[in-house]
Amino acid sequence: MRKAIWWGVALLAIAAAAFFALVPGIVERSMNKVEPTPALAARFAAGQPATQATGPIVDLHADTLLWSRDLMTRAQRGQVDVPRLAAGNVALQVFSSVTKTPRGQNYDANDGDSDNITPLVVAQLQPVRTWGSLLERSVWHATKLRRTARTSNGALRLVTNPAELDALLADRAAARGVRPVGAMLSIEGLNGLEGSLGNLDRLYRSGFRMGGLTHFYDNEVAGSMHGRAKGGLTPFGRTVMARMEDVGMIVDVAHLSHAGLAEVLARARRPVVSSHGGVQATCPVNRNLTDDEVRGIARTGGVVGIGYWAGAVCSTDPQAIVRAILHVRKVAGIDHVALGSDFDGAVTTAFDAAHLAVVPEALRAAGLNQRELDKVMGGNALRVLRAGIQPLSRRAAAG
């Protein structure tokens, strides 16, 4: 009998170990897919297209920190890691912290009563403090990224201020061979503030320099484009937005309701970013921006980051990405469009970070000159990031 009990315990231990080791990877493989067209697959296999000559490349949104992977190892799943960013010639990747998504998530209407992320957090054996706290999940994501950068021998650098950004770009320009990749922290939905500006300040101290006000459901800050009420900013949300602008934390309006976006644009004192998405004119999906919204973001001096998945551009073909970029250029000017892949954000794309060369190649074919190409691929984003992460005063940044 005792032997049978021990065998049972051993089998349970083996089953648990297999669960924690295998399930997170299985889940990610089912959600972050790279599915190139046959023509693209053949070109990738042949080592094409070659990296395009552009200025520094910046991507405004990837959800890689959600997943249990070593960023310094080239993975066989997902879309982003440091080796693939280096292969794609990316100078700076903005990594977003996702803390909660609703069950049955959709673009039309969700509530915040359920959470898909908690089972993943437990399965990944994250610290227990993160199991029941959205704020602690973001702090943990920041800790993971900071530890990775610290042990990367300079291959990955966390950027938190303009001086660090300028040093990164200077070192990349001077480097021979492999160049350092920069990383900046953002948060997708300020869902975990719990009514406290102090928690926003804690996120800032953890390294976050951009924040999406909402994600897939209405929260205490504002209404989501995919929420039930889809309202504007709450009184607390207005205070949060002002504090973000004071300390140098860029306001990201991706996923924000149309009412909330209108209010942000009316109140903005600093450039506003839509980090990842598309435009209604080329892809009439609920989450995408109207022409008036694109022009409003441009009036703040901000940028619209164009994504690579069907929900943003109605296809995964690089030509669909180009159509959205060209439309923003037409409506708001070339200075107000950027890249916002949404890599590793439970999306399917036709290429990963290593094969980013398909984008500048398609933009060149569409007629963009070198000056325009440099702006779209990173110049516009760098302008906004450099200005936006500078605190309005030392006192504000110190809290």
Respond yes or no on whether the N-terminal peptide bond of residue 162 is cis (omega within 30° of 0).
no
Classified as helix, coil or strand, 162 is helix
Which amino acid is residue 216, in one-letter code? F
The predicted-structure confidence for 285-319, as pLDDT tens digits, reads as follows 989 999 999 999 999 999 999 999 999 999 999 99
Q: Does 395 have pLDDT greater than 60? A: no
Q: Domains of the chain (ranges plus CATH)?
A: 32-398 (3.20.20.140)
Q: Are 338 and 56 in contact (CB under 8 A)?
A: no
What pLDDT band is residue 2 in, cutting at 50, 70 and 90?
A: low
pLDDT (mean) for 130-135: 96
pLDDT (mean) for 147-175: 96
CA distance linking residue 261 with residue 316, whole number of Å: 26
Instruction: Collect all residues with Cβ–Cβ distance below 8 Å to 281 and sequence separation of at least 6.
Output: 291, 327, 331
Q: Does 101 have pLDDT greater than 50? A: yes
Q: Are 229 and 218 in contact (CB under 8 A)?
A: yes
CA distance linking residue 347 with residue 78, whole number of Å: 10
- Residue 255 backbone phi and psi in degrees, to 5: 80, -5
pLDDT (mean) for 383-392: 95
The helix, strand and coil proportions of the chain, stated in percent and rounded to the nearest 5, come to: 45, 15, 40
Q: Are 181 and 86 in contact (CB under 8 A)?
A: yes
CA distance linking residue 232 with residue 224, whole number of Å: 9
Listed residue (252, 262, 244, 241) closest to 204, CA to CA = 244
CA distance linking residue 223 with residue 350, whole number of Å: 32
pLDDT given at position 175:
86
Listed residue (383, 304, 296, 370) closest to 340, CA to CA = 304
- For 281-313, the three-class secondary structure string (H helix, E strand, C coil) is CCCCCCCCECHHHHHHHHHCCCEEEECCCHHHH
Burial class (CB in 10 A: 0-12, 13-18, 19+), 109: middle
CA distance linking residue 198 with residue 236, whole number of Å: 12
CA 232 to chain centre: 23
Listed residue (382, 254, 383, 376) closest to 327, CA to CA = 376
Q: Does 5 have pLDDT greater than 70? A: no
pLDDT given at position 97:
98
Q: For residue 258, give the H/E element and its range.
A: helix 258-267
How many CA atoms lie within 13 Å of 157's alpha carbon, on the beta-carbon side?
Answer: 21
pLDDT (mean) for 356-362: 96
Residue 337 vs residue 195, higher pLDDT: 337
Instruction: Name the pTM for this structure.
Output: 0.93
pLDDT (mean) for 266-286: 97
pLDDT given at position 16:
40
Classified as helix, coil or strand, 167 is helix
The predicted-structure confidence for 11-66, as pLDDT tens digits, reads as follows 444 444 444 445 566 778 888 999 999 999 999 999 888 887 889 999 999 999 99
Instruction: Collect all residues with Cβ–Cβ distance below 8 Å to 157 and sequence separation of at least 6.
Output: 149, 164, 168, 180, 181, 182, 183
What pLDDT band is residue 392 in, cutting at 50, 70 and 90?
A: confident
Would you mind telling me the total number of residues written for the chain in this entry?
Answer: 399
Question: Following CA atoms 234, 108, 288, 270 in sequence, which dihedral angle do they give, to the nearest 10 degrees?
Answer: 10
pLDDT given at position 84:
97
Instruction: Collect all residues with Cβ–Cβ distance below 8 Å to 348 and sequence separation of at least 6.
Output: 32, 33, 34, 35, 309, 310, 316
CA distance linking residue 384 with residue 63, whole number of Å: 21
pLDDT given at position 129:
96
Which of 5-19, 63-77, 266-280, 326-340 comes out lowest in average pLDDT?
5-19
CA distance linking residue 209 with residue 211, whole number of Å: 7
pLDDT (mean) for 105-131: 94
CA 238 to chain centre: 23
What pLDDT band is residue 1 in, cutting at 50, 70 and 90?
A: low
